[in-house]
Homo-oligomer: A and B are copies of this chain.
Amino acid sequence: MTRKATAQDVADLAGVSRSAVSLVLNGRAKGNISEAKQQAVIDAAARLDYTPNAVAQGLRTSRTRTLGVLTWRGLGGLPLHLIASALQTSLNAGYVLVKMYAEPTEIDQHRALAALGNRQVDGLLVVAPELSDYQPVETMALSSVVLLNCLDVGHQLTCVVPDEEGAGARAAQVLLDRGHRDIGLLAGHLDHGQTARRVAGVQGALAAAGVAPAATRSTDVRVDAGLAAATALLTQERPPTALVCTNERLAVGALFAAAQLGLSVPGDLSLVSLDDREELAAQLSPALTRVERPDQLMASHAAELLIESLAAGGRLDAQRYTFVCPLVEGGSVAAPALRR
């Protein structure tokens, strides 16, 4: 922020030309600049605390070492954790992120892409708040793009996504393995792609095991809604012995329902949650057995794909990288209690 040294300053101090400074500092001095002068440049640069002006570099090379991030607000807000993880990886690689919000409408997307284009971003990361299909704006095909947590309907772009259906199946399987056959399901709205996939995974696993479909309550993804829905399920004539929750907040509500009904978890009721990395499930008592979305891994991978393709100067393939959601054992699952 203070008046910065330029390559000319370094050249003057080292007694060489501006070009020599550039060559030495970019590692292309070998066979071009004498050893003595190389050292002089390095010393001068250190003395002046010189680092090249990235704006000028960007203009000259048309590589800004900047990545655009296009994101928008979902039911659970912005995908801040995904973006933060991608940022970490990018910073480590010397890239900087410029984030833009844009509703998934043509017009908004165009405006945002234009803004990023002006800034000469080298690549673009599209980060969805919840797993969904994505209709890319046409201009995207031309540049380096990676979709994170959404799928390109046209199969033209690289996508990094969690296996939400597998996550649902895994959650159900934990309960099946312990002997549960009456399983309830607390879910967000079913017309929501992410929820639909999770629910499909749960029901699919039950069907595969020859077990009746889970009695399902679909609500807002809120603690209080989860409490109400779980209470309704648990006060039925023949209540389930276990619940799967598609989101952490619903699981918090379910745990409240159990506490209010005097049910112990996992003694009277087993609970498994799918986890959006809000870090709630891990802090409950008992900590919930859960299937976690690997935000950190997915985001790092997406950023790396983008950065590596940039370094290689190559186009990205249209591959889909699907990440397994791992099971994390908590203390909320036990064998079902004997029926009264």
Chain A residues close to B by CB (< 8 Å) = 1-2, 4, 49, 51-56, 58-59, 64, 78, 80-81, 84, 87-88, 91, 96-101, 113-121, 124, 139-140, 142-143, 222-225, 227-228, 249, 252, 255-256, 259-260, 280, 283-285, 287
A153 to chain B, nearest CB (A): 20
Per CB-CB distance, the 9 closest pairs between chain A and chain B, nearest first, are A259-B259, A1-B143, A223-B283, A80-B80, A54-B118, A222-B283, A224-B285, A55-B58, A55-B120
A263 to chain B, nearest CB (A): 11
The distance in angstroms between the C-alpha atoms of A223 and B280, with both chains bound, is: 8
A177 to chain B, nearest CB (A): 26
Complex contact A256–B285 (CB within 8 A): yes
The distance in angstroms between the C-alpha atoms of A53 and B117, with both chains bound, is: 8
On whether A287 and B59 interact (CB within 8 A), knowing A2-B139, A51-B118, the answer reads no
Among B1, B64, B223, B284, point to the contact of A142 (Cβ < 8 A).
B1
Shortest Cβ distance from A137 into B: residue = B1
Interface SS, A side: helix
29 residue pairs bridging A and B, Cβ less than 8 Å apart: A1-B124, A1-B140, A1-B142, A1-B143, A2-B117, A2-B143, A4-B117, A51-B114, A53-B59, A54-B119, A54-B120, A55-B55, A55-B59, A55-B120, A56-B59, A80-B84, A88-B101, A96-B115, A96-B119, A97-B98, A222-B283, A223-B280, A224-B287, A227-B285, A228-B285, A249-B283, A255-B256, A256-B256, A256-B284
> Within 8 Å CB of A140, what residues of B?
1
The distance in angstroms between the C-alpha atoms of A116 and B2, with both chains bound, is: 12
Shortest Cβ distance from A88 into B: residue = B101
On whether A96 and B96 interact (CB within 8 A), knowing A119-B55, A224-B284, the answer reads no
The distance in angstroms between the C-alpha atoms of A87 and B72, with both chains bound, is: 13
A139 to chain B, nearest CB (A): 5
A258 to chain B, nearest CB (A): 9
The distance in angstroms between the C-alpha atoms of A97 and B71, with both chains bound, is: 14
A334 to chain B, nearest CB (A): 18
> Within 8 Å CB of A101, what residues of B?
87-88, 91
Complex contact B91–A84 (CB within 8 A): no
The distance in angstroms between the C-alpha atoms of A143 and B284, with both chains bound, is: 45
> Within 8 Å CB of A81, what residues of B?
80
Shortest Cβ distance from A116 into B: residue = B1
On whether A1 and B139 interact (CB within 8 A), knowing A118-B54, A283-B223, the answer reads yes
> Within 8 Å CB of A227, what residues of B?
285
Complex contact B284–A223 (CB within 8 A): yes
